[in-house]
Every structure is written in C-alpha cells, then in structure tokens.
Amino acid sequence: MFSIDFDNIDLNPEKLLLKTAIESPNFPFEYLSIIAEIESWRKEVYRPIYYVHKWWARRLGTVFRAIIIATFSSQNCSIVDDLYKPLKLKRGKIFDPFMGSGVTVGEAVKLGATAIGRDINPVAYFLVKNALSQKDKGRIQSTFEEIKQDIYSVMQKYYTTVLSNGETVTVLYYFWVKYLPCPECDQQVDLFSSYIFSKHAYPNKFPEAKAVCPNCGDINSIHYKDTSVTCQQCSTVFNPQVACVKGKMASCKCCGHCFQINKTIQNIGKPPSHRMYAKLVLLKNGVKQYLTVKEYDIDLYKVTVKELSQRDNFYPVVSIQPGNNTNQILNYSYQYWHEMFNERQLLCLGILAERIKKIEDINIRDLFICLFSGVLEFNNIFCSFKGEGTGAVRPIFSNHILKPERTPIEANIWGTPKSSGSFSTLFASRIIKAIDYCEKPFELKAVQVNKKWQSEKVYALSNPIGYKIANSFQELNDLRPVYLSVGDSGETDIPTESIDAVITDPPFFDNVHYSELADFFYVWQCYLITNHVSDKDTTRHAHEVQSSDSLIFAHRLQRVFVECHRVLKTDGLMIFTYHHSRTDGWSAILSALVKAGFAIVATHPIKSEMSVATSKSQAKEPIDIDVIVVCKKRERVKLDNNLTNILEDAYVNAINQVERFRSVQRRLSKNDILVILMAQVLKGLSAYHQIDTALDWLEEHKKEVIDMVEGIYFKYNNAEQ
C-alpha cells in the first residue's frame, strides 16, 4: 500500500506501519460526524459535483474523503488535521464497484489518487461521466444562451395567461387534481384530501394559506388552521381541512358512496383523468399571485394537445415493467413511462430535446442531456407543491418511490428566476455550481461559535477537477487518472492484485430498487443520445445487486466481493458503508463477505444522509448513521474457532462508540444503536473459521442482540433525562 505524501515524494513502503488509521479504534468518527452533519443539510451546495443528476442514497463527501485519507495513513496520523491539508496520494489505485453518484471516485481524484469506478446502471455511469469530465464553462454558457435564443419564446407561450385587465403574464405553476367517476352515480369525484393546496413551509410564522372552494372553485385566503371558511365568491361554507379523500378511500359528495381509489382505477383500466383548478402567476412587478383557471387556460392547453398530436416520435414510448418499485404505478393503471407527463409537458420536453440533439460537441451535448434528464425529475404529474418559503416543486423521487400524486403541480419547464426545478434554474443551480466547484474545490470545516457548530470553507486543498476519462484500465495515466465503466462489477478488466483499496457503498437488498426507478430517466436518455448502442429499454440487469430476497441479494453481492478480492492487493483493504434495521440485512452482508474471502478488522459508526429526508422523517426509529466496515483478505487475518465472547466483546465496543457519540451530544435512535452493535457482532463472526456456523449463531442470538440494544437505549435515554 502507499502512504500519503505531503511533498509529492514516494515514501519507502518498508517504513509504513502495517496497521492504517482506518483500522484503528481511534478513528475520529464523532468529530467527522459533526462535519458530515453540516454537509448533509445542503449536500447539493457543499458537494454540487455529485448533484448534476438525481441518484439515490448519495453518501457524504466529507465521510469518504476521511475514509480515503485514513486508508492510506498510518494509525498515528491525525485524520482531522489531514482533512485540511493539500494531500497527494501517489500512485494509489482505488476501485468503487458500486459507483452510484461517484462520491468515492470524486473524492479519490481530489486527493490525487487513480480512481476506477464501475456501476451496473447506465444512468449512474452517465451521471458520473458528466460530473468528472473536462468542461469549458464559457462554451457551456454560450450553448445555453443559443438554446434560449432558439426556443425560449416558443416554450414560454404555453405558460402564459391573461389577467382580467387584459394583461398577459407568465404562469409559474398550474395546479391539477385527479378525478374519478363515482362507481355508484358516475359523478366526478375530485381526489382532494384537503382543499388547502398552498401554505407556507413555516405556517406558525406565516399562517396565510390558500384553499379552493369545493363548490365554485374560487381561491380563498385563509388561516392554515381554519376549519370553517365562507367562500368569498359563492358564500359556500366549507371545512378546508376535510375533502373527499381519506387514505385509500374516496367519497362522492353527490350520493355519499364511499369507494376504494385503487380498485376503481383498476376497474376503469386507465390512469385517472386530471383537471386544472388553479395557477400561480408572476406579475410584471415581480409579485406572485394565485388565480383560478379560466377559459383562456383551458383553451391554451387544448392547443398544446393538438400540437403534440401532430408531431411524430416526439417522445419515447416504452412500457413500464412490473417490479418492487413499479407495481405501485402499474396498480394505478400507468402502463407507459410517457403517461407520467401531461401533454403540455411532453410537447415542451420534446421541443427542448430536439434542440439539445442539435448540439455538435458531443461532450457538451451529453452534459445538456444530463441536465434535461434532471428536468424530468421536477416536471411530471408525479410532482407536488411544497408550498411557499421553500423550493416550490416536490420532485417525483422525494420519497424514493414512484408514488402517484393525486394533486400534482405542473411547473413552467423553461422557467423564470422565481421558478423551481426548471431547465433554466437547474442549469444555474446544478451545472454552473458543479463547474464552479470543479474549478475551485473546497472542504467544510466545523468551527464552534457560542457552543454551536458552524462551517467554513477551506480552499486550495485539491487541484481543479476535470479529466479525460479512460476507457480501459490500460489507458490510466497521469493525464487520465479516472477510468469509468458500465457493467457487472462481478466481472472487470482490472488486473489481478492491482488495486490498493476498494471503497464503496453497496445497495440495500430490500430498500430502493435503483434500476426500476432509473428507467424513468433512462428511456429519455436513450431517446436523446444519438450514438446510444443498447437495444434494451431498461437498466434492469440479471446481476444487479438488488433483491427483496436476502439469499439472492447475498449471492449477488458475493459475486462482486469475489471480484474485489481478486483485484485487491494482498494487504489491501476493502471498505464500505452500510446500515440496516433487520437481522437478515446483516446476515446477508456477513455471508457475502466471508464467502468472498474477507474478514472485518474494524467498524466505525458515522453520520449518514440528511436527518430530515422524507424516508427518514416517516420512520418510527430512523437510522441516522452508517457504519464504516473495514475488511482484509481472510488469509491476512488471524481466524478464531471460539464464539464464546462474541456478544460480550461487541457490547463493550458498542458502548464505547455510543459514549463517544454522547460526548459530542449526538442522540441515537434504537436503530442507530442496532447498527453500531450489529457491526461489532459481525466483526467477531467474520473471523470465525466456519461461516455456516457463524450464520446459525447470528440467527440463534438475534433476540439477545435486540435485548442489548434495548438496554443500551434505555440506559442512555434515562441518563439524558
């Protein structure tokens, strides 16, 4: 292995200590978690390079920078100090077999290492390639201006309306509601769960909200807690908090019949219809105003429907395949990916796509295809309104699933400076910010002010980011330090024992099925990329490490770990981050690791993704930490034939790590403690000589593990109270 070299001179390998900083129990995870916490709140601002396109479970750049530094440092180094030194990792080769959004690859090349990234999903590969490739900011900005000159006025005419005084203004957002015919009386039932469609993100401070009258459709300004409102237009008295939908059921206000929404949709055999009921316009003076939908708006939409019908092959027509994450929309009778957009969205996306295809420079064209693909995330009928005081559009994957939206929002696709999720605003917030970061990379440093942690940016630690990407391992050199590929990571072209460290973040077996969600973007990327060679309409792959069956997941993960074992040097480390709330999630990891020839030599808990992510905020005991799992080849580890002290040792080590978190006032949920304890248990079991016996032991002792978690949680919760 290689060490960090502060003077760009290779150190004599004979002088290196055998144990690295990442193997040491003193790895400073508690302080690193403070920095990671700060980064997690605005990841797209502090690490914009990984946010040029949507990906799931993006890990924190600070964490992986620290992991890489500690992997190539001796255990007596100060990792916290080294985070803020302009380090150069001489000739160290790092491989990430689950590249995802490219965090490992990006942080590795910032440290001067050679980085090899591979992912089985072509959407992930396309994202990372565009993030790390060389970019000419001037040419990219001029290309944007040329696109704007050609199609801005064409697209904006579909997002205009006329005020009562005859003035033409721009529409920022249209508000829609799904409706179904009542199975009993055939009357239209709007699928509102509340008649309040807009309120502030901080309603206690800004209590004004907007409600639509269920009788005449007029828009009323109300207090967000009001339970009785008299419509200013028709004098109807209604409770804005209660509408026709409650959970999975809807009731008809005409006949009172109550029916199941999903079952009714399936009986009809097509997705629910939609109607516009409100719009948010931008007045000439810059003020935003909510208005009801008028005849002009309906007629304009009919124009878009007619124009779309006159254009051939204007969008991809690809069927949605059944799957863990796609069955929900199939149950809503969505059969094709393009049905997730309305006609105006399809027309404007098609206009934008046609213009992007005309960009001659293939690298710039790919970057704008990446941007276009990101626009899809915020411009479909699965988006909803977040409200005032925040980004208005809640994108399709805010919940990491494909959830049909009963009251979708339609945004202005080109957008204005006051728009959310539009082509123009995402160009500025994603592409330009990523380019600026690549030109002047920085790290976050935590500083304490009045007993509160704040951040400051530290520059001049890394060279500018932007490379010619190698197309094979053999092409890697000082000018091409990054090799990216798409395909099965169980089979690579990497030479045997040529990698110093494998550093990655594998998928979770029963969580988000990335390929099923990524197909939403992939069908459009295939449509746009003129030299696209794949004949597949999906990113799904027989060898993807994703399955709701823990045995299948373990087997597929084992294939990749076996390849990692082959390419890793004899004394190299394989390091990955992981968490899970169930025992079978841990037994799958243990099985894959040991059968691939690895044993765990250290585990460190660390701050995970943003604490208020939707998927976490809805969990009873959310997991707020990952565990860093450090592995060596089993032939380089002293194995044990005694399981007697596994639980006792794991408990002592877990208590120590919990105490260290408490010393920096980090509260832990039960599942956080479970992650810490299970990682320690797996460390002991992975060094046992017989894997089947270790797996049986884990199954037999899972109740004892849960009891230990309860005890630790109870002990420290009572201490804090």
CA pair distance 710, 259, nearest whole angstrom: 42
Q: Among 71, 68, 82, which residue's Cα sits nearest to residue 31?
A: 82
117, 320, 521 from 538: Cα distances, Å = 21, 9, 10
Name which of 288-302, 304-318, 561-575, 577-591 the model is least confident about.
Answer: 577-591
Task: Give residue-wise pLDDT tens across range 188-231.
Answer: 999 999 999 999 999 999 999 999 999 999 999 999 999 999 99
Distances (CA, A) of 477 to 129, 193, 363, 486: 17, 59, 21, 20
Residue 209 near residue 217 (C-beta atoms within 8 A): no
d(CA 575, CA 21): 13
- C-beta of residue 367 within 8 angstroms of C-beta of residue 140: yes
Could you give the CA distance from residue 655 to residue 677 in angstroms, rounded to a whole number?
8
Mean pLDDT for the stretch of residues 106-122: 96
- For residue 585, what is the enclosing H or E element? helix 583-595
C-alpha span between 606 and 583 (Å, rounded)? 20
Please give the Cα distance from 209 to 226 (Å, whole number): 9
Q: Which tens digits make up the pLDDT trace of 81-102?
A: 999 999 988 779 999 999 999 9
Task: Write out the two tokens for 583.
Answer: 């025992």
All domains of the chain in start order, with CATH: 4-134+433-509+545-720 (3.40.50.150), 139-193+243-421 (no CATH)
Handedness of CA 675, 680, 681, 683 (dihedral sign): positive
Closest CA to 405 of 385, 376, 377: 385
- What's the token pair of residue 603? 């585990």
Cβ neighbours, 10 Å, residue 507: 23
For the chain, the 3-state helix, strand and coil shares in percent, each to the nearest 5, are: 40, 20, 40
> Above 90 in pLDDT, residue 531?
no
**CB-CB neighbours of 606 under 10 Å:** 23
Q: Which pLDDT band holds residue 721 (cuts at 50, 70, 90)?
A: low
What per-residue confidence (pLDDT) applies to 615? 43
Residue 598: its H or E element = strand 598-607
User: What single-letter DSSP state applies at residue 595?
Assistant: H
Distance of alpha carbon 324 from alpha carbon 547, whole angstroms: 9
State both tokens at 304. Answer: 């878009």
Within 10 A of 22 (CB to CB), how many other CB atoms are there? Answer: 25
Query: Residue type at 370?
Result: C
Average pLDDT, the chain: 92
The values of phi and psi at residue 33, to 5°, are: -65, -30
Q: What is the pLDDT of residues 546-576, one digit of tens each?
A: 888 889 999 999 999 999 999 999 999 999 9
Phi-psi region of 433 (alpha: psi -120 to 50; beta: other; left: phi over 0): alpha
CA 227 to each of CA 52, 196, 388, 655, 719: distance values in angstroms, whole numbers, following the listed order: 43, 11, 21, 50, 42
CA dihedral (75, 80, 85, 86) in degrees, to 10, reads 80
Q: Left, alpha or beta for 483 (phi > 0: left; psi -120 to 50: alpha)?
A: beta
pLDDT digits (tens, 9 = 90+) for 466-498: 999 999 999 999 889 999 999 999 999 999 999
Query: Rounded CA gap, 435 and 68, in Å?
Result: 23
* Residue-level pLDDT at 231: 97
pLDDT of residue 629: 98
Of the listed ranges 149-153, 281-285, 440-444, 510-514, the one predicted with least confidence? 510-514
Helix (H) / strand (E) element for 629: namely strand 625-633
Please give the Cα distance from 75 to 65 (Å, whole number). Answer: 16
pLDDT confidence band for 20 (50 / 70 / 90): very high
What pLDDT score was predicted for residue 612? Answer: 44
Given pLDDT bands bounded at 50, 70 and 90, which one contains residue 7? very low
* Element spanning 577, H or E: strand 568-578
What confidence score (pLDDT) does residue 713 get?
Answer: 93
Six-digit token pair at 345? 């969205």
Is residue 718 scored above 60 in pLDDT?
yes
| Rounded average pLDDT over 502-528 | 90
Least confident among 465-479, 501-515, 563-577, 621-635: 501-515
Mean pLDDT over 278-283 rounds to 96
Q: What is the pTM of this model?
A: 0.92
pLDDT number for residue 719: 65
One-character DSSP codes across 157-207: GGGEEE-TTS-EEEEEEEEEEEEEE-TTT--EEE--S-SEEEEBSSTTTS-
- Mind listing the pLDDT tens digit for each residue in 408-448? 999 999 999 999 999 999 999 999 999 999 999 999 999 88
Angstrom distance (rounded) from CA 474 to CA 43: 34
Q: Is the pLDDT of residue 614 over 80?
A: no
Q: How confident is the model over 21-76, as pLDDT tens digits?
A: 999 999 999 999 999 999 999 989 999 999 999 999 889 999 999 999 999 999 88
